[in-house]
Structure 1
Amino acid sequence: MILEHIQSPADVKSLEREQLPQLCQELRKFLVQHVSETGGHLASNLGAVELTVAIHRVFDTAVDRLVFDVGHQCYIHKALTGRQELFSTLRQFQGLSGFPKPHESEHDAFIAGHASNSVSVALGMARARTLQNEDYSVLALIGDGAMTGGLAYEGLNNAGASGEPLIVILNDNGMSIAPNVGAMPSHLSRLRSKPAYYHFKKWYRSLFGKHPMENGLYRFNHRVKTALKKTLWPGSTLFEDMGFTYLGPIDGHDLPRLCDVLQWAQELHGPVVVHVYTVKGKGYSFAEQNPGKFHGIAPFDPETGLLKKEAAESFSDQFGKAMISCATQDERVCAITAAMAEGTGLSEFAKEFPQRFFDVAIAEGHGVSMAAGLAAQGMIPVFAVYSTFLQRGYDQLIHDVALERLHVVLAVDRAGLVGADGETHHGCFDALYLSEIPGFTVLCPASFAELRTMLRRALFEIDGPVAVRYPRGGEEAFRKDCSAEPLVRLREGGDITLLGYGILINQLLEAAELLEAEGIHAEVLKLNQISPLSGDLLYTFFGERKPLLVLEDALGAGCVGQRVAAILTEGGLSPSRLILKNMEKHFAPEGSVAELNHRFGLDAAGVAAAVQEAIGHGQ
């Protein structure tokens, strides 16, 4: 066994070249073994094994800066940088993160979880290196999926013109989560077909020594070559027109060649794009055959590739079914997703209504603006998007949708705490910023039945922009449809009012039972609509002043509880005691939703304890 003796990148560098294939084989076995037990991102990591080993053969990531894009392909990097023994805790509460985290290791240069920012971050690091007169390499490792995001091109445009020594490694596997769509993947596919270009370029440049641009003959030939290349093969010049030296395409599973090319890229001392093509899921047949399923997967049987526990029906599944029903009813209904057709439950919709389904790739800002265009011309667009990724479209929500009160519907999936992906993926902001955008209606179903009803209301009854926000996973004990009114009373009680919305209503109902056993009679109110909030309606429900607890899995500043309390105070009905149970100003780490609810006191026990302390019934 080689892998068990790898404690740092220095151990990788000390291996003989003939030992590297065995190391890669052991790494793939290690990945399948651990991810099958904990769940996680498998296919993307299997495809990046040789590339990651090559990076650690050529560079020293304790000094050189390796910036991951998205970061879900960092498992091999972590295994080679002293964290093998932590993989049994992968994506668990207080365990090893599934994404790069600088607090874990000096080898993690920058936190990563969202797409398309790596080139911009890396350019900032390269410029800092120059300003500080230091000497180290800076690399951005970006997938072709992330290259569908506009920020990637903003970074490339600026980096190429900067002249800064910077290596952009384009890991091209033809996929993000789903197969890539759009013009860029097609362009990269054409580039792959010309491997002879790289060989000629290396030979040609080597003729003129280490600094060929200082040679007048080389500069003249370079201009001639560039002109001819633009005429005969215009597709090859995309990166070079931005100011990069383009190396590739390279077989991303040819480890010796990868090492040579990365070494050459380092020696060029300028902006370089190394185009590497890989196979997502490489080396594990089930992941190669179905890379989308094994992109992010729950614990599974490595022998069969089958999940150990089949996933239960989810809010996403119910949303997808409801969308098919609504689109059957009205031909104006169409669906938009950002590389998340399966995750948002729209796969069947795409098959049923291919002409009314649009995958915009990893480009949420574009998705929002395109939805605005559809709405402006009389369609009813529904943009299904994870809460954490909708943040990329914030400006467009204000400028392109809200200002004209366009009837765009947002299906905000993964709202609230989502679990094992950690800080970068929790949906703890949308309830705050969507509620503050003028004209937005924000609906919060707590059950499948409410989701179906609220989606229909959003499509066919409410004017202007509407967001329907719902959690990851399935419904809990509360399965009724109480969505007819913006605010409903689920339980009577004279000692304190418990107010919440969405799936957390389950915790409030359970907390009320716990409090009843202690002699505290808690009223439970459920907000079905958190924006706009009607003062007249709130005054009706809060006719008497008593303690109020508001429960939310969102951050505290600008939360619903603060807005409710302000409205009541304006009406002279401020609660006798206000208890806000939320995330305050904390990012939530990895862990199950139940563990995180408990950590932040958002579960039934935490609510009951807060009430007992606040109103003097504690032990």
Structure 2
Amino acid sequence: MDLLSIKDPSFLKKLSIKDLELLSKDIRKFLIENLSITGGHIGPNLGVVELTIALHRCFNSPKDKILWDVGHQSYVHKILTGRASHFSTLRKYKGLCGFPKRGESEHDVWETGHSSTSLSAAMGMAIARDLKKEKSFIVPVIGDGALTGGMALEALNHIGHEKKDMIVVLNDNEMSIAPNVGALHNVLGRLRTAGKYQWAKDELEMLLKRIPAVGGRVAATAERIKDSLKYLLVSGIFFEELGFTYLGPVDGHNLENLIENLNYAKKTEGPVLLHVITKKGKGYKPAESDKVGTWHGTGPYKIETGVIIKPENTAPAWSSLVSETVRRLAREDERIVAITPAMPVGSKLEGFASEFPDRMYDVGIAEQHAATVAAGLATQHMKPFLAIYSTFLQRAYDQVVHDICRQNLNVFIGIDRAGLVGADGETHQGVFDIAFLRHIPNIVLMMPKDENEGQHMVYTAIKYDDGPIAMRFPRGNGYGVPMDKELKEIPIGTWEILREGEDAAILTFGTTIPMAMEAASELEALGYSVRVINARFIKPLDEEMLTQLFEEKIPVLTIEEAVLHGGFGSSILEFAHSHQYFETVIDCLGIPDQFIEHGGVNELLCDIGLTSEKVVEKVLTLTREKQKRV
């Protein structure tokens, strides 16, 4: 079938099961070929081809609301809703988003990049539907990994209590990004082997009611019979006890069974949970055989071999640099324990887990729990290392404030993917952590200029005993700088001068240091001497160096790959104001007051004006402003 000609999903209702199966093959071929060029989340999407087709066959989107909790699983949905022709632009600047996007299509009714949100959103939509006396189906699709998130469990509890009409599709592929963990995962495992429960229950009840003479008595005790059958036929009745009608488990790659069960669910009153078993990476052997999450999301790859095409770079990945330094230190310090919320692969903790299995805890998609577990460990004089992406740390904000910082507990937070991350877009850009951490009492916040300074910062964090300490580091690889063999502590709150200068000063850290150094060289060619300072401690500030700088009264420019409002630049302005350095001209460069969409990092930096050219322009403006004031 010509997938590029699809305008909307209505054509599916006219196709036979055989035609739908052929369509499934065409979609898989399309995904494998296109994602080999663009990269993307191939494993999750190959696993939901039949499920997505069945959903759009049985429901009328967008009148019926299909919500994708696992947003990176929406590629097939995008194809069936008329966006196949845009797949060459997937996750590229100004191109097709890798997640549902309400502004992209009327069929994308809920945007998500963080998991475990669809059930709460679906409940809101169901309440609105009923208040407006409308008729429509609301169908959130949630993965078994996402179901470990506390928010999803809160929503299940509310939905079951209110008895709202809703069809929850549980897409169970036994993995999120990495293999799932936890007791709920084990419950689902028992359900997978429990057989076809709902049909057996209904058929047996109907059969009993037809028995002459005793039919009335059976009808009078139907609820007791149903309850007994739950315990008889199902080893786990978790969802039924929460108030859902449980259907399944269903083979998620059998279109006939999927359509049959979805149609049955449509006739069932109250909340229904349809348990669908799928295979992540279905139809592409390298992705199917993946057991650790390598094929969850990839860059370009060679279709024939499955070899992922990686850029030539001998420098270590930042995630690996941090986790391996923690691992090195754990050999000497038995108090070190690593914790991650479902990101052992992304955080490169496989080596730590292999060497120290008793000191490595993947808690599932449960960021709040992860933070408080770390706090609990710290109360017992352990050294917890919480490895978490900046975008996911947002979800644990209250726990960082209330449980870690308020108690001044010695937790080391490794903030991975800090700054712009590129293709995953606005839900994943790590640009808010400085603003939401900087104002919390007790915390130390730092970011290294390169991987050598990074390993020393990890050492500093492990040796630090005076409270919580966090280190930001970017996505991708380091610069390949020489690495010191011996680790050393960096005095907390100290900066370093990377380049001397008398006409202006640039304060920056991390990924924007090369930009500042390049701008300083360009300004030198124009006759300006610019000092570049590595402000590696974002909190506390190096007040001694700042005082000296402000007393010189030279213009100051701050640069950060993070939001300006409440960020590092704001702290410099606050310092100047509180110490009454009103004669110093100060300006700030950073992320403007907007969400940054997907695209290459360099393209995004150009788009928002965070470039060496802009730095040169700002410094020239500041020096002219100073001259006006003299």
User: One fold, TM greater than 0.5?
Assistant: yes
Question: What are the Cα deviations for residues 403-422 of structure 1, in whole angstroms up to 9, with x where unaligned?
Answer: 21111110110011111000
Trace 1:513-524 onto structure 2 (pairs within 5 A). Answer: 513-524=521-532
| Structure 1 alignment gaps of length 5 or more | 210-214
May I ask how many residue pairs the two structures share in their alignment? 612
C-alpha distance in 2 between matches for 1:268 and 1:226 = 16
Q: CA deviation at 1:579?
A: 1.8
Match of 2:370 in 1: 367
- The partner residue of 1:510 within 518, 523, 536 is 518
Corresponding residue SS for 1:582: strand
Partners of 1:372 and 1:408 within 8 A in 2: yes
Instruction: State how far apart, in whole Å, the 1-side matches of 2:250 and 2:312 are.
Output: 38
3-state SS, counterpart of residue 391 of structure 2: helix
Distance in 2 (alpha carbons) for counterparts of 1:397 and 1:69: 25
Question: Take 1:93 and 1:389, find their aligned partners in 2: how far apart are those partners?
Answer: 23
Q: Which stretch shows the higher mean deviation, 41-50 or 5-14?
A: 5-14
| 1:471 and 2:474 matched | yes
Distance 1:205 1:231, change over 3 A: closer
How far does residue 440 in structure 1 lie from its aligned partner after superposition? 0.3
8 Å contact kept, 2:550–2:584: no
- 2:170 & 2:495 partners in 1: Cα distance? 50
- In the alignment, which residue of structure 2 is the partner of 1:309? 310
Deviations 1:563-610 (A, max 9, x none): 111112222324633221111211110011111111111121222233
Contact kept, 8 Å, 2:194 with 2:235, in 1: the verdict is no
Deviations 1:467-498 (A, max 9, x none): 01100012248778995562111112222211
Shift of 1:229: 3.6
1:378 correspondence with 2:386: no
| Cross-structure match for 2:537 | 529
Alpha carbons of structure 1 residues 404 and 137: separation in structure 2 relative to 1, 3 Å: same
Per-residue CA shift, 1:4-56, capped at 9, x if unaligned? 44221012222222201110001001111111111110100000000000000
Asked if the contact 2:244–2:271 (Cα under 8 Å) also holds between the matched residues in 1, the reply is: yes
Offset, 1:219: 7.0
Query: Displacement of 1:613 after TM fit?
Result: 4.1
Aligned counterparts of 2:544 and 2:105: Cα–Cα separation in 1? 54
1:348 alignment partner in structure 2: 351
Contact preservation (8 Å) 1:198, 1:249: no
Q: Once the 2 structures are TM-superposed, how far is the Cα of residue 436 of structure 1 from its aligned partner?
A: 1.3
The unaligned stretches of length 5 or more in structure 2 are: 210-214, 626-630
Partner residue, 1:538: 546
Distance in 1 of aligned mates of 2:64 and 2:172: 23
Superposition pairs of residues 205-604 of structure 1, within 5 angstroms: 220-229=220-229, 231-232=231-232, 235-290=235-290, 292-310=293-311, 312=313, 313-476=316-479, 486-574=494-582, 576-604=584-612
Per the TM alignment, residue 321 of structure 1 is displaced from its structure 2 partner at its CA by: 1.3
State whether residues 548 and 575 of structure 1, in contact with CA within 8 Å, keep that contact through their aligned partners in structure 2.
Answer: no
Paired residue secondary structure (1:72): helix
Contact 1:160 1:271 in 2 (8 A): yes
Amino acid at match of 2:112: A
Q: 1:206 to 1:521 in 2, by over 3 A?
A: farther
Match of 2:29 in 1: 29
Deviations 1:191-244 (A, max 9, x none): 0112231331353577899xxxxx998874442134314543564321111111
Task: Provide TM-score, normalisation by structure 2.
Answer: 0.93
Tell me how far 1:89 sits from its aligned partner: 0.4
Q: Which moved more, 1:90-99 or 1:55-64?
A: 55-64
Deviates more, 1:275-284 or 1:55-64: 55-64
- Kept in 2, the 8 Å contact 1:478–1:506? The answer is no
1:389 Cα offset (Å): 0.5
Corresponding residue for residue 142 of structure 1:
142
**More displaced stretch, 318-327 vs 276-285:** 318-327
In 2, distance between residues paired with 1:567 and 1:610?
A: 21
- 3-state SS of paired residue (1:525): strand
RMSD across aligned positions (CA)? 2.2
Q: Residue in 2 aligned with 1:212? A: none
Letter in 1 for 2:517: L
Distance 1:33 1:216, change over 3 A: farther
Q: Which residue of 1 aligns with 2:181?
A: 181
Cα distance change of structure 1 residues 518 and 392 upon mapping to structure 2, 3 Å threshold:
same
Partner of 1:60: 60
**AA of the residue aligned to 1:308:** I
Q: Distance in 2 between matches of 1:59 and 1:9?
A: 9
Change (3 A) 1:197 1:389: same
**Conservation of the 8 A alpha-carbon contact between 2:423 and 2:599:** yes
TM-score, length basis structure 1: 0.95
Deviations 1:303-339 (A, max 9, x none): 1111222574211111121011110011101100111
Q: Please state whether the residue corresponding to 1:92 is helix, strand or coil.
A: coil
Distance 1:239 1:517 in 2: 69
Identity %: 43
In the alignment, which residue of structure 1 is the partner of 2:628? Answer: none
